[in-house]
Structure 1
């Protein structure tokens, strides 16, 4: 990625639904979610500023949206749930693995934070409709190939979409993650803000 592309990554994605941002500098932090009436988690094609590779995924945690770039300046926007304030993961990654009906195991940090809830799952939980990762999972790896422990995944709690509730992962409704799963290959760049 060249210097111009890195600078473009710091610009806001969109000014408002249906409008392109013309600012030259990024805000100190991503804007917070819009009023509940304006939030729409349904997949929608929207304009996005130029500078992202076609096929890449961009997550704006503060707005609770994931963008799959489908053409220069165009993306499909999906509603997501993200990590609680202290657990929001931000950075650049690649999709390193894709799994249908993934198994799940809480991280040691999750078990330590809330043993009453997670200790019973410390040996893992098989995939299926009751599994918290839902129908599909995209495993985020570093550019060097190391697993970040962050996933873009489905959920058994669709009402959590549009909120900061997870242990750091990015949740989508099962039908949305199934749609995205079919469209993105391993190696897809992912940018999380």
Structure 2
């Protein structure tokens, strides 16, 4: 990869060759991927996250700074539903990449929208189509929804997607099921781990462009 050092290896014994190849691979990776520190947490975040479900993500779905594959302007969110990745585009052709869960084929959504509203530890109201599929959720809806907290399906943060000033009913949000990151199981919404949802929330604003493809 351009700009990444590679070591020339000639006439070396296999153990030395193997070690050199590993080091070269790590050097290339270091040029492409770098870890992103966890965001600072409020006392409320720390308390609620301590009670939230936890899960060790596969390396492919952890939060990294990467070379931007989208070509979109800085500040744009791009969701690759097939790869289960969300990119927040940064300057200098870089992006923050997060693992996500996306809608299954029957309930998936693609298109272009903007963040029209943002909420911390939001209340969850089951949408009408979900109530049709799962009538057992009707008491939750009749009670005015589920308050924010560790067991709430929206998790720590929600970013509401609007198109032409109309709520699409799709969101980018946290989750109470982090083990499903990297899969296609949700009812169309884009789920992130709670810590990743907080990290993204801190980087965006109302009006941020979102492309889901």
Matched, 1:162 2:182: yes
Matches for 1:69-148 after TM superposition, within 5 Å: 69-116=89-136, 118-123=137-142, 124-142=145-163, 144-148=164-168
Matches for 1:39-78 after TM superposition, within 5 Å: 40-49=60-69, 51-78=71-98
Q: Which runs of 5+ in 1 are unaligned?
A: 1-16, 20-36
1:102-143 Cα shifts (integer Å, max 9, x gaps):
001111101101223x2232231111111110000000000x
Structure 1 CA distance for aligned equivalents of residues 91 and 182 of structure 2: 25
TM-score, structure 2 as length reference: 0.70
Contact map agreement 2:70 2:78 (CA 8 A) in 1? no
Aligned length: 158
Structure 2 CA distance for aligned equivalents of residues 164 and 180 of structure 1: 20
Structure 2 CA distance for aligned equivalents of residues 50 and 167 of structure 1: 25
Q: Aligned-pair RMSD on alpha carbons? A: 1.9
Q: Which runs of 5+ in 2 are unaligned?
A: 1-28, 34-56
Structure 1 CA distance for aligned equivalents of residues 71 and 175 of structure 2: 31
